[in-house]
Structure 1
Amino acid sequence: MCHYYPPHVGGIENVVHDEAVRLAELGHQVTVLTSGERTSVVEEVDDDGNTVRVVRIAAWNISERRTGVPFPLLSPRLLPRVLRWARWADVVHIHDCFYLTSWAAGFASAIARVPTVLTQHVAMVEHPSGLVMAGQKLVYGTMGRVLLRRAATVFTINEYIARFVGTLGAAPAKVVVLGNGVDGRLFRPAADEAERRRLRERFGLPADRILALFVGRLVPKKGIDLVLGAVESEDAAFDLVAVGSGDAGLLEGRERVHFLGQQPTRMVAEIYRACDLFVLPTTGEVFPLVVKEAMSAGLPVVTTDEPDYARYGLDPEGVALVRREPDAVRRALAAIAGDDALRERMGSYAMQYAAKQFSWSEHMTTLVHHYRSAGAERR
């Protein structure tokens, strides 16, 4: 169960897609229930012949369009459909406890007496609207708490979110930190300068500038304001490429900013190959998916020095972990953009680290183990 699924663009939906396809590769029957422009059931087949059934329920995305908050409002068909597929399933996997799809899945699995596991992808998201902040607290303190307590296993993508779900009543014994994997075949460096030039030409990017890439929603939580301040400083020897959703007006009229909007996953992978470094001064996130993708693509990374990064043993000369302050972000970007040898060293380190640490095979082994455990408890 997930509120969105490709072709809708976003980190959670990409993770759900990759898990679903890999489960199908392992021989499991997989149904994804999600939102869509209209209600439909489609058998999606990948290049290797693996099939994932995708059940979409018609939804309205008013909240996302007007406030940037991804909260689709689904039609009343949601409940009967989720009940049907909960009865079909051995295990219901809920992605994030914040959404209508999650609440419906929790209700249906309780009625059908089917065990649930839950992946919590985020904690509280900072937002300038007091109403949005109050809404998050209300949801997490009510439905979120119920879903987290009922789940057989609660996966979190890092320790920070593990602590967050603990405050909502998730028992420590059932919380498992399960980092997202990265497809190294898709997220790879450019083969050579000729490929990089071709990709820059395809996306309308300058051929003769150092390009720093930002991938994420254009909101304060992700630090887009800090990146814009850095690119407009006097010592900025680079242009900014921005990919994501949000208020595009923030980027209009800025001479060294190239906004590519939302892009499908394969296009984003190509944009990584076209750029020289990656920046995401986010808050409350440790190894978000886009940072892992950038490292797998061999890009030097500038991101926020969250305390939980300490447990990963990162080389401070291989990844730039900086204070979430304008000057710190600006200095890091200026240093990396102005030093070809430094970019090469950091990119090589990032790629090697990603190949060792961001394994989909380990992720899937852990996931299936907990599916089987939940099913065994049911039997």
Structure 2
Amino acid sequence: MRIVDVCAFYSPWGGGVKTYVEQKMRIGPELGHEIIILAPGDRHEVIERGPMARIITIPEPRFPLDRKYWYFKDEAVLHATISELEPDFLEVSSPWRSASMVARWPGKAPRSLVMHADPLSAYAYRWFEPIMSRESIDRRFEPFWKHLRELGTSFDRVVCASAELRERLEAGGVENTVLHPMGIEAGLFSPARRSAALRRRLLDLCGLPESAKLLIGVGRLSPEKRWPMIVDAVAAASTGLPIGMVILGGGGQKTRILKQIAGNPHIKLLKPEKDRLKFATILASADALIHGCEAETFCMAGAEARASGVPVIVPDRGGAADHARGGAGVTYRAGSALSAAQATLKLLHNLPKTPQPAETTTTQGHFEGLFADYAQVLADKMLPA
């Protein structure tokens, strides 16, 4: 198949979508598919990534709230470009305006909406749940739910990476939802990478002895990740048990988080570890991973922790919650530092003596399943009525 991904979230400066796109352009051709990423940019450009993979950018405006990104504005140009590319299957990676544009493209190719974002959890629920129920919020955001339901009828697949998101969309009346969990890098994450010496060094960095417990937090320093809440939760739990925490992350909330840490010697904020092998070793050497974001569409950090035999402490909503299933961790009430502290103590007092990796999907397996699904959709479309 020639798969064209209309990718409004793509940025050459990084991010989860860029990582996913790079994996798709590597694995897709290995499976016999041509992958074309169609993204907005400063100018028209074709970036070849091999004989069957390329990125095409078309001139569009920069996104005013984050200049690292652009957005699709000219629907006629987008439609013309898609038609020139003659896709067998058409993807769109944003539930916003570009999804509606792709839905209105007059071509016959089947199409999918890949939910790389959960705007209701990231914004509406996070902002308003402290003062009103989720049902009340959903009623006030009915125009967005209507938009999602319209997309569900326009797309052959609405691809979700977490069971919680798929179930919520389905309950909200969104049709054609399917579950395709994302995958982790094969062969990298394992309990065998656990290093007692590294664990001692990290606890020493936190001013604690080897007998203390070591938590790790991984992720972008942005409001929806709720790092200040996690700092408060770990500080509260530390009154009942010696706990050190290392956060690996970068982003705009660094000053805010350092202020929340406020000189606590047992919590350290470090830069992200770019060396993947070193990162896998750090992760495997922790006693548990703690995460605060209930708006994850998958939660890669949770999946990597599970594969490393590291249990997780995660909110009870969003993609992160999937990784606590089957005894792989504990959940707490999303947004509650007190509940997170209680869950932390519950898990750390009952750690397994031997780390056990949970079964996780690999990136290869994710794309094999996703593209097989697309191929079936395409085959069904070609059947005589």
- Tell me what 1:279 maps to: 290
Select which of 138, 156, 163 maps to 1:159.
163
Aligned-partner Cα distance in 2 for 1:242–1:311: 22
1:364 aligns with 2:367: yes
Structure 1 188/83 Cα, relative in aligned 2: closer, same or farther at 3 Å?
Answer: farther
Counterpart in 1 of 2:193?
Answer: 191
Deviation at 1:92, TM superposition (A): 0.4
Q: Please, which of 322, 326, 330 is the counterpart of residue 337 of structure 2?
A: 326
Residue 103 of structure 2, aligned match among 103, 106, 118: 106
Distance in 2 of aligned mates of 1:376 and 1:129: 43
Match of 1:41 among 36, 46, 51: 46
In the TM superposition, residue 25 of structure 1 has moved relative to its aligned partner by 1.2
- Between the aligned partners of 1:113 and 1:104, the Cα distance in structure 2 is 14
Rounded Cα–Cα distance in structure 2 between residues aligned with 1:126 and 1:309: 13
* 5+ long unaligned stretches in structure 1: none
* Percent identity for Structure 1 against Structure 2: 18
Query: Amino acid of the residue matched to residue 54 of structure 1?
Result: I
What SS does the corresponding residue of 1:113 show, helix, strand or coil? coil
**For the residues of structure 2 that align with 1:223 and 1:192, how far apart are their CA atoms?**
27
Within the alignment, does 1:62 sit opposite 2:70 as a pair? no
**Alpha-carbon distance between aligned partners in 1 of 2:235 and 2:153, rounded to the nearest angstrom:** 47
Q: Structure 1 residues 152-161 or 24-33, which shifts more?
A: 152-161
Aligned to 1:293: 304
Number of residue pairs matched? 348
For the Cα contact (< 8 Å) 1:213–1:240, is it kept in 2?
Answer: yes
**What does 1:1-379 align with in structure 2 at a 5 Å threshold?**
1-5=6-10, 7-36=12-41, 39-45=44-50, 51-57=52-58, 59-64=61-66, 72-74=69-71, 76=73, 79-81=76-78, 83-86=80-83, 87-98=85-96, 100-107=97-104, 110-123=105-118, 124-127=120-123, 137=141, 140-141=144-145, 143-166=147-170, 169-171=173-175, 174-188=176-190, 191=193, 193=195, 196=198, 211-219=214-222, 221-233=224-236, 234-235=238-239, 236-253=242-259, 254=261, 255=263, 256=265, 257-260=267-270, 263=272, 266-267=274-275, 270-275=278-283, 276=286, 277-283=288-294, 288-306=299-317, 314-316=325-327, 318-324=328-334, 325-334=336-345, 342=351, 345=354, 348-349=355-356, 351=357, 353=358, 356-379=359-382
How does the TM-score come out when normalised to structure 1? 0.73
Q: Could you tell me how far 1:91 is from its partner in structure 2?
A: 0.6
> What's the Cα RMSD here?
4.1
Structure 1 pair 211–13 and aligned structure 2 pair: CA distance change class (3 A):
farther
What is the one-letter code of the residue matched to 1:52? Answer: A
- C-alpha contact 1:212 1:238 (8 A) present in aligned 2: yes
Gapped regions of structure 2 (runs ≥ 5): 1-5, 129-136
- The Cα shift of 1:31 comes to 0.4
Query: Can you list the C-alpha shifts for 1:294-332, whole angstroms capped at 9, x where unaligned?
Result: 22233231112349999989343x412233432332244
Please list the CA deviations of residues 222-266 of structure 1 after superposition, one character each: whole Å capped at 9, or x if unmatched: 3323211033345352033141434222212433444346x58x5
Q: 1:303, 1:320 within 8 Å by CA — same for their partners in 2?
A: yes
Partner deviation per Cα, 1:319-375 (whole Å, 9 max, x = no partner): 122334323322444566688xx3653xx22x2x1xx34244543333222222332
Scaled by the length of structure 2, the TM-score of the pair is 0.72
